[in-house]
Structure 1
Amino acid sequence: MGRSKNIVLFGQPGAGKSSLINLMAGKNVAKTSSDMRSCTLQWQEYPITFDGKSYNVFDTVGLEEPQLGIPQYLNAVENAYTLIRKLESIDLLLLCMRAGRLTPTLQTNYRLFHEFLCDKKVPIVVVITYLENEDGEMDNWWKRNRDIFDERGVHVAGHACITAIRGNYPDRHEQSRTTIRKLVEEVTAGGQGAWKGGDSTFVSFMRKLKGLLVGKEKPRMKKNVASRLAKRCNLSPDVAKELADRIRDDTVEGAT
């Protein structure tokens, strides 16, 4: 079957990430919950196979509102950074969102994963869930909302409008499985090869931070990292500073 493709899945708690994994796998491999709290406390790996191809799906911690005083958000970002640093290559980013508004938090999460962590070098697709009650075709949701994504700078290589829960809509559930599998297969089969983590701006930041710690970089470097985090990921200055501090601490641990 060749090399397994690596897929990193992210989104807010309650978006249905675990149900999406089970939908793709065709069986229950990920724990699900009916409430809005995250089932995932740290990233988890799920090897799945369909249509003769194998994939490793990495489910990340659900990202809450990035407001000062919410340590869960910083823990989730730090967890995602640890995963991105661990993986040798990434073939696809899956942004899972519940049907509704394209909130500022979703935009922040998009920028964090796509632009900052992966330096725009990994194809990203959006999966919109909870569309079992959509009038007409489920894809009508995208037709009504696609312009909003473009207006707010959320550019994706593809989309899937689905329901990940069988419930009273078995036909739509099965249609959703076909839709998401086709999307994943098409985008990961682009022939450009997987993105290598070593090429990212994020790794460049890590090198600069290590230099700062041993006195080779100017003191303003730490401030610059926090500033770029705030600007590119739309974080508050305080949250960006604390996240930069955590990244620095991780770098210290990795260097010792």
Structure 2
Amino acid sequence: MGDSRDLKVLVMGEIGSGKSSVINLLVGKTVAEVSPDAEACTLKTVRHEATIQVQEALTTVHIWEVVGFNQPEDTTGKGSGMTLDVDLDPILQAKASVDVIFFCIQGSRLRNAPTRVVKHINDVSGGRITIVPVITNLEREKNMEDWWERNGRGVKNMGLGETEHACITGLQDEKHKDKSTQSRTSLVAILERRWLSPQDSVPLESILGEHVAQNGGSESNEKVTQRKDSSWWRFRWPF
């Protein structure tokens, strides 16, 4: 992960899944706008910086907050494929690598969770990047981990959470102070384990480049393409 032992985290999920709350928990203050509804607050991919303590060392965490997405759409009209657009160019221009992906899912939306998106990300990355499910909006749970006891199997069926997960609330007011502290501790613990068991970060540019090369030919046959005159990348996959 380089001489600095910095960590690089990608935070992604559907619109309204709690990505901004995860960012604010990690940073320790409000740096990402949070919306009370399902409207998108983050309109472009943004980089944030956080500092965590691992043993006696202070470690910088580079956090990339990816624009939220809706469920992938069938754009063919024939049910033959799905497309999903994601803003990735800021990450590519920074030649950034990724140690772990925090994939945010609202606890109340598990039934509608984007299973196909998760599977496709795993496919594109070749399983080289760990994807950790972060279950959000659990402030009403007496014990937030109780949610996982009830629903963890459903998340694992998506191909997530076999080894790690986090159950959190993004609320940081006085009423939820204890749960907020517990939530940040859960997220930081995941990052600590990555720092203590270092693996090579995976350059996002190389992952996309490999797939563009492997799926060359007409754009309709490519799994990953860059939209013309845009920082957005289009992911395409069959049903």
User: Which of residues 165, 175, 182 in structure 2 aligns to 1:175?
Assistant: 182
Amino acid at match of 1:19: S
| Alignment of 1:144 onto 2:146 | no
Amino acid at match of 1:64: N
TM-score (norm 2): 0.78
Provide, for residues 184-228 of structure 1, a one-character-per-residue CA deviation record: whole Å limited to 9, x for no partner.
22134322221233553x32232356x64xxxxxxxx54442xxx
**Aligned residue for 2:234?**
none
Judging changes above 3 Å, is the alpha-carbon distance between structure 1 residues 33 and 78 closer, same or farther for their aligned structure 2 residues?
Answer: closer
**How far does residue 64 in structure 1 lie from its aligned partner after superposition?**
0.5
5 Å matches for 1:33-72?
A: 33-51=35-53, 52-68=58-74
**How far does residue 98 in structure 1 lie from its aligned partner after superposition?**
0.8
RMSD between aligned residues: 2.8
**How far does residue 175 in structure 1 lie from its aligned partner after superposition?**
1.4
User: Which of residues 16, 21, 33 in structure 2 aligns to 1:14?
Assistant: 16
Q: Is the CA contact 1:123–1:156 (under 8 Å) kept in the aligned structure 2?
A: no
Judging changes above 3 Å, is the alpha-carbon distance between structure 1 residues 198 and 78 closer, same or farther for their aligned structure 2 residues?
Answer: closer
Larger Rg: 1
Judging changes above 3 Å, is the alpha-carbon distance between structure 1 residues 130 and 62 closer, same or farther for their aligned structure 2 residues?
Answer: same
For 2:52 and 2:40, how far apart are their aligned partners in 1? 26
5 Å matches for 1:194-205?
A: 194-197=201-204, 199-200=206-207, 202-205=208-211
**How far does residue 18 in structure 1 lie from its aligned partner after superposition?**
0.9
Instruction: Report how many residues are paired.
Output: 216
User: Which of residues 219, 226, 232 in structure 2 aligns to 1:247?
Assistant: 226
For 2:205 and 2:34, how far apart are their aligned partners in 1? 33
Q: Which runs of 5+ in 1 are unaligned?
A: 213-220, 230-243, 252-256
For 1:169 and 1:248, how far apart are their aligned partners in 2? 42
| Alignment of 1:131 onto 2:138 | yes
For 2:120 and 2:20, how far apart are their aligned partners in 1? 21
- Could you say which structure has the higher helix fraction? 1
Q: Is the CA contact 1:11–1:62 (under 8 Å) kept in the aligned structure 2?
A: yes
5 Å matches for 1:78-117?
A: 78-80=86-88, 82-83=89-90, 85-86=92-93, 87-103=95-111, 105-116=113-124
| Alignment of 1:160 onto 2:166 | yes
For 1:192 and 1:15, how far apart are their aligned partners in 2? 28
TM-score (norm 1): 0.73
SS in structure 1 at match of 2:85: helix
For 2:72 and 2:28, how far apart are their aligned partners in 1? 33
**How far does residue 55 in structure 1 lie from its aligned partner after superposition?**
0.7
Which stretch shows the higher mean deviation, 3-12 or 60-69?
60-69
Q: Which of 1 and 2 has higher RCO (CA within 8 Å, sep 6+)?
A: 2
Q: Which runs of 5+ in 2 are unaligned?
A: 76-81, 231-239
